[in-house]
Each structure stands twice: as structure tokens, then as C-alpha cells.
Structure 1
Amino acid sequence: MFKAVGKYVRAVWYLMTFRIDKASESLRMNPGVVSANYDRIIEEKRGRINQYKDAIAAMIAQEQQKKDKLKEVTAEIEKLEKLKAGAAAKARQVAAKYSGDPTATRNDPEYQKCQTAFSDFSSTLAEKQARATELEADLEGLVENINRHKLQIQTQMRELEKLGEEKHDAVATILSAHEEKQIADLMTGLSQDQTSEELRELRELRQKAAAGARVSRELAGLDTKQAEAEFLEFATNSQANDEFDSLIGLTNNSPETNNDGPESTRIPES
């Protein structure tokens, strides 16, 4: 029993799911719904593209910062190289004062000062050069990433434009398919178009009204009177035409011969 109840519940659930799916599919195929869904997707993609643009803009700003930093470090390197060269020149000047005596030169406080400064400048210069090399590598990778992202965002922009065109094509295709289905249904008699049914009813009413009027005329003798009137009119027109033909000589009889009275119409005796 429980198994049967379970099967029944599943069957009802499947039926409800099927009907919901069919209704949802029919609703999604509505041209207005299709257009709205395309608009939603386009807006979502446009939003992501704008976020992508912001990220690329931040990368470009970072690139500019690194360029400025590299420029600053390069200027410091040039300054340190000059200071280092100046310390060496000053030390050579002190050494020249002692005629090249190493011991006397090294014991000179000015020489020691130049030597210490030269050593400091050299170590600082090495650090700045390493920093400059690091910045150059970062800039190279950053520029490469920016260019790659620019290409990707250009591709997405083209896809966004294509989506706008695809939206119009999709709506037009659905409308055309709907019209073709209606025409096919009309041709096969499967259409549920209410206007066709109304037209059929109106035509039937028209036929019934015409038939009722014809019956009423027959019952009232209008058809007989109308026929008699037509015969009299035809006779009058025929007589007038014969008289006109006689006047212009289209017949062998003259107008006088047609006015002989009753004798002219008497049947000859055998």
C-alpha cells in the first residue's frame, strides 16, 4: 500500500513538474520575455566589463607609479655615481699630496673620509641599481598584462555589440516562427484563433439573414410582383426599341404599317 501511495505521489509530482516546465518554456518563448532576458544579460555583461575597465585602470595607474618610482631611482643612481666619482677624485687628490705614499695617504683623515663616503655610496648605489632592475621587471610584466587585458576587454566589447544584434535577430525569429505556426495551424484547421471563429459566425448570420429575407419576400408575393414589373419594363423597352429601329430604317416595316390596328395582328385564314 505504501509503495502504491509513493508511486501515486511521484506521478502527481512528475505531472506538476511537467506542466510547470511547459508553462515556463512557453513563457520564456514569449518575444517580450526573450527581449527582456537579453537586456538583462547585456546589462550584466556591461557591468562586468565596467568592473574590468576599472581593474585595468588601476593597473595603468600602478604602471604610472612604477614608472615614476623608476625615474626617481634612476635619478638617485646618477647622483650616487657622481658622488662616488667625487669621493674617488678627492681621495686621489689627497694621495697626490703625499706623492703616492700609501701609508701616509691611508693615515690622512681626509682620505679616510673619502674612503668611507666612497664605500657608502657604492653600497647604496648597488641597492638602488637592484631596485631599478626590480622595477623594470615589474613594469615589463605589468605592461604585458595590461596589453593582454586590453585585448580581452576589446573582445568582450565586440561580443557585447553582437549580443545587441543577436537580441533583435532572436526576437524577429521567434515572431516569424509564431506567425508561421499560426498560418500552418490555419491551413490544417488546428488554429484556435478567435477572430476566425467570429468571422465564421458572422458569415453564417449573413447567410441566415439573406435566406430569411428571401422567404419573407416569397410569402408576401414580392417576388411575383417584382417579376411582373420586370416583364412590363422589358415589354415597354422592347416596343420603344422597335419603334426607334423603324424610324431610322433598320426594319422593313414603316411606322405607318405598324399602326394598322388589330387587323395587322390577325392570323391569316388558310
Structure 2
Amino acid sequence: MTYLCLGLSICVSIPTYISFMYIRTLRLNTRFIIVRNIVLSVCLRDLMFLFTDFVTSLASKPSYLCEVTGALLQYMSTCAFLWMLCASTDIWLKVHFPYFNHANNIYFYRSLSYISPMFIVCATIGGFRSGYVDENSCWLSITSQSMWVFYSTAIVLIVLISIELAMVACKTTQALKNSVQPANIASTKDPKQSRNMAKSFLPLLAVFGITWILGIFLVIGGTIIFDLLFVIVNGLQGFVLFLSQFLFSKQVHNAWTESKERATTRTL
């Protein structure tokens, strides 16, 4: 089941990422730059899950190999959560500060999402030198409590993302009820656009949140049912990204149509 779910997510994540890079309007769009990096982080994390499982299955393995794979898995998982925070923050900023130049925010988002996890991983390794990973699973150790560093980070980020999306939903819903476009959401011609952007990330947030809530139950003392649910939900995150941000995205469909029309025009 693990290989099936992760394999499916990886298979759909690769063409999704390539499409976001190929279509110029999506490649330069801040929202899709963020989504593209979420897709990349989740895909690399899934590959690390498979590699970790391979390392775990080895009859004899050096201890440092387990520590390296565990550290990379923690790093990529944290990157995915931070890019989710960047997505919700970007929506919140565009709703509340529409006249601010948001194009340069992407440099801060990249630094936050790719550099800060290094410090978190290094701090975890330094704090739990003798028991950073469990050699039986090559993942953060339950015995030394190093796993709670990751779970606490994930919970804090999920709460922050939920608060930001709730604030966006309240602001845009109020504007729609009043049938007036206030100045502080003037960055969109229709407040529905901001609300739809926030709603597009809700399925992904739900999957990320449910995954690690199930993970906490597993740490406390889970059953086979929790183990199975964790594998399915965690393994299908890339597939949910494909559905919510690519397959059912009107903006992506419009971008593909425009790209085909431009290609046809050049041919003629």
C-alpha cells in the first residue's frame, strides 16, 4: 500500500511540476511558483520515504546512513510545511496589502522554506546526539523524543496556516455580503478570486493536518487502522496536489489554452 500511494503521488507530481515550469504564465506567477515548490518538496519527500524504507530493509547498514536519511526526510517534510505557510501568507498579504509589491516576496519565501529547515534539523541532531533516529526505522526516534520536535513544528505551522486562511475567508466573505469591493482587497477585480485561492489550498491543508494528527496517534500508541490510514493519507498528498492545484484548476486550464493558441499562431 505504501509503495502504491507514494508511486502514484510521484508519478503525477513530476508532470505537474514540468507543466508549471513549461507554461510561461504559470512559471512567472507567484502563486504557482509557491505551488511548484510545494509539489517539488512533497515529491522529494516521497522519494526519501522510499529510500528510507530501502535503507531500513538492509541487513547491515552503517549508523550514519540512517542518520543521513532521517535528517533528509525531516528536512524535506519541514520544507513542504513551510511552503504551505508561504502559500497562505501570500494570499493573506495580497488581500490585506494589495498595493504592496509582492513579486519580491518569493525570495524571502525561498530563504524561509529551504534554509530555516536546515537550522531545525541541525538543532534536532545537536539536541539528540545519541538518539536522533531509530535505527530500526531510520526516522526520528520515539524513545529519545526527537520525533516531537518535528510534530511540534508541524502543529505550529498548521495552526498558523489555518488562522491566515480563516482571516482571508472572513475578509472576502464580508466583502461579498456587502456587494462592495473595499480598498484593502482591491488587488483582485472580484473578491471571489481571493476566496477561491484560499479554498484551493484547504484540501491540501486538510490532508497535511490529518496526516500528522494520525501520526501523533501512532506515536502515542496506534493500531493497525491508524497505521493504514497514515500510510494512505500521507502517501496521497502529491495526488491531492495534482487534483486541487492542477487538474481542477481553472487558471491552469486557461493557461494551457492560451499556450496552445500561441503555439498555433506561431505555426500559422
Query: Which TM-score band applies after superposition, normalised by the shorter structure?
Result: under 0.3
Q: Under a length normalisation based on structure 2, what TM-score does the superposition of the two structures give?
A: 0.19
Question: Could you say which structure has the larger radius of gyration?
Answer: 1
| Higher relative contact order, chain-length normalized (CA < 8 Å, sep 6+) | 2
Q: Under a length normalisation based on structure 1, what TM-score does the superposition of the two structures give?
A: 0.19
The answer to which structure has the higher helix fraction is 1
